[in-house]
Structure 1
Amino acid sequence: MTLFERTRDTAKERGYNLQTTAKKAGLSNNAIYNWKSVTPSHVSLKAVADVLNVSVDYLLGNTDEKNPRPAKNEENIVDLDKALSEEGMAMFDGQPLSEDYKKALLAMLKTMRGE
């Protein structure tokens, strides 16, 4: 699979067309279409990889692992349901939460969610 094909397919998986992908990466509307015949600069390739949340190596076909690192917005995600339901320490303002307080928070969150 070529760089262009892999970029096109990944963009489609993300719900983008190539013009939208290029625009989000700060490139001209048809820049990615030119990748059929022209090798992009490293800067352009990195910008598109960032928009698509994949590695440059994935776009180049050097690996099939799309993103060896979690997305920036996924690095600090905590499942509160799991954290409050399981045994172990949960803290707020530097202080551990009691089991009763964790249960109350979990009940409040479920109520807000409509359960």
Structure 2
Amino acid sequence: MTPFDRLKKLADKQGLSINDVEAKIGLGKNTLYSWKRKVPSGTNLTKVADFFDVSTDYLLGRDHQGTRTADLTDDDVIFTYQGKPLSKEDKELIKRLMNGKD
């Protein structure tokens, strides 16, 4: 699987086209399609990894899990669901549910 294949899979999961992703992260049209035939630049690779909250190693095929970890109590981390940030209330609800408290 190529970096483009991984990118496409991530975009499809969120219902986005490759052009949508390019627009959202400020890249020119068809920039990401070039990943089909060449290794992505470090800058663009980082932008895509940050957008999808995966590691650059995942996009390059060196890490198969693709996720980064963070603690729900870390206020400096923005947690998202389907590309939308979770509110403080949502984070508190998740913590309560994970601790077995309704």
Q: Give the aligned length.
A: 86
Instruction: Provide Cα deviations, 1:21-56, integer angstroms capped at 9, x if missing partner.
Output: 111121112111111112221011100111122111
Cα distance change on mapping 1:62 and 1:79 into 2, 3 Å: same
Partner of 2:18: 18
- Does the CA-based 8 Å contact 1:20-1:29 persist in structure 2? no
In structure 1, what is the Cα distance between the partners aligned to 2:55 and 2:69? 9
Give 1:81 shift: 8.6
The normalised TM-score by structure 1 is 0.62
Instruction: Provide Cα deviations, 1:42-85, integer angstroms capped at 9, x if missing partner.
Output: 011100111122111111111111212249322972228938x9
Larger RCO, structure (CA 8 Å, separation 6 or more): 2
Give 2:92's aligned amino acid. Answer: V
Gaps of at least 5 residues in structure 2 are 80-85
Gaps of at least 5 residues in structure 1 are 87-105, 107-115
In structure 1, what is the Cα distance between the partners aligned to 2:33 and 2:60? 15
Taking only the aligned residue pairs, the percentage that are identical comes to 30
Cα distance change on mapping 1:31 and 1:79 into 2, 3 Å: same
In structure 2, what is the Cα distance between the partners aligned to 1:43 and 1:2? 18
Partner of 2:35: 35
